[in-house]
C-alpha cells in the first residue's frame, strides 16, 4: 500500500492538498480503491470541500464504517465511502481516533443521511460524534451496557 505518484494526479487529492497542506496525511490504493487519511481536526472542512467543490462533487455518502484495531493505537478507524453521482467516482476518507477519547466531528451538516450511520457507529463502537443532533443508541436497547462491536467485547456477550 505504498504511495504511488499517479495517485497525486487524483483531483480530490490535489484539491485537498491545495486547500490545506496538512489535509492529506496518507494516501494509499488497493484494488483500485483510493484511501485518503485526513487528520481528525480537518475532517469537517475536508468533507465540506469534497462535497461542495464543483470539480469533485462527492454528493452521495455511501457508507460509514468503523474498524477496531484493538489493542493497537490509535484504536478506531472510521472509513467514509464517498460517491460522486455526476463524476461516477469513488473515494474512501479515513480518520483515526484513539481508544481513550474516541471523538470525531459529526458530518450530519454535510451529508444529512449520515445521521443513522453515526448513531450506529456510536451504538456499536462507542465513538462519539461531536455536533450530532441526536446521538442515541439505534440497534441495541437503550439500557445496554458496552459497545458490542468492539474487539474486547466477547462474541457471546458478558455473562
Partner 1 sequence: MTTTVQTATGEARTMVLNMGPQHPSTHGVLRIVLELDGETVVKAEPDIGYLHTGIEKSCESKTYSQAITLTDRLDYLAPLSNNLCYCLAVEKLLGLQVPKRAQTVRVLLTELTRIASHLVWLGTHAIDLGAMSVFLYCFREREEILKILEMVSGQRMMTSYFRIGGLALEPPTGWLEKVQQFVKMFPSRLEEYEDLLTKNRIWMGRTKGVGILSAEDAIAMGVSGPTLRAAGVPYDVRKFFPYSSYEEFDFEVPVRTESDCYARYLLRVAEMRESLKIVQQAIPRIPAEGPIRTDAPGIVPPQREKMKTEMEALIYHFKIFTEGFSPPPGEAYQTIESPRGELGFYVASDGSPKPLRVKVRAPSFVNLQSLSKLTEGRLIADVIACIGTIDIVLGEVDR
**What residues line the site for partner 1 (CB under 8 A)?**
1, 30-31, 33, 59-63, 65-68, 79, 81, 85, 88, 90, 92, 111-117, 124, 137-141, 148-149, 153, 155
**Smaller CB separation from partner 1, 17 or 77:** 77
Residue whose C-alpha cell is 487519511: 37
d(CA 155, CA 153): 7
The nearest distance, CB 88 to partner 1, in angstroms, is: 5
Using the minimum distance from each CB to partner 1, give the nearer residue, 101 or 142: 142
For partner 1, which is the closer residue by CB, 21 or 158?
158
Nearest distance, CB of residue 115 and partner 1, angstroms: 7
**Residue 5 or residue 141: which is nearer to partner 1 going by CB?**
141
Q: Please tell me the total number of residues recorded for the chain in this structure.
A: 159
CB of 94 to partner 1, least distance (A): 10
Give the shortest CB-122-to-partner 1 separation in angstroms. 13
Amino acid at each position: 500500500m505504498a504511495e504511488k505518484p499517479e495517485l497525486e494526479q487524483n483531483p480530490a487529492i490535489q484539491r485537498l492538498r491545495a486547500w490545506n497542506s496538512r489535509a492529506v496525511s496518507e494516501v494509499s490504493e488497493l484494488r483500485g480503491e483510493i484511501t485518503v487519511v485526513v487528520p481528525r481536526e480537518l475532517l469537517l472542512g475536508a468533507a465540506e470541500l469534497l462535497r461542495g467543490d464543483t470539480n469533485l462533487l462527492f454528493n452521495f455518502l455511501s457508507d460509514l464504517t468503523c474498524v477496531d484495531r484493538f489493542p493497537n493505537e490509535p484504536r478506531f478507524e472510521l472509513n467514509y465511502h464517498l460517491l460522486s453521482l455526476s463524476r461516477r467516482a469513488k473515494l474512501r476518507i479515513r480518520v483515526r481516533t484513539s481508544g481513550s477519547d474516541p471523538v470525531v466531528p459529526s458530518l450530519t451538516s454535510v451529508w444529512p443521511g449520515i445521521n443513522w450511520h453515526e448513531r450506529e457507529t456510536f451504538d456499536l463502537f462507542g465513538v462519539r460524534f461531536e455536533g450530532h443532533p441526536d446521538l442515541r443508541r439505534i440497534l441495541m436497547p437503550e439500557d445496554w451496557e458496552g459497545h458490542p462491536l468492539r474487539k474486547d467485547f466477547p462474541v457471546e456477550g458478558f455473562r
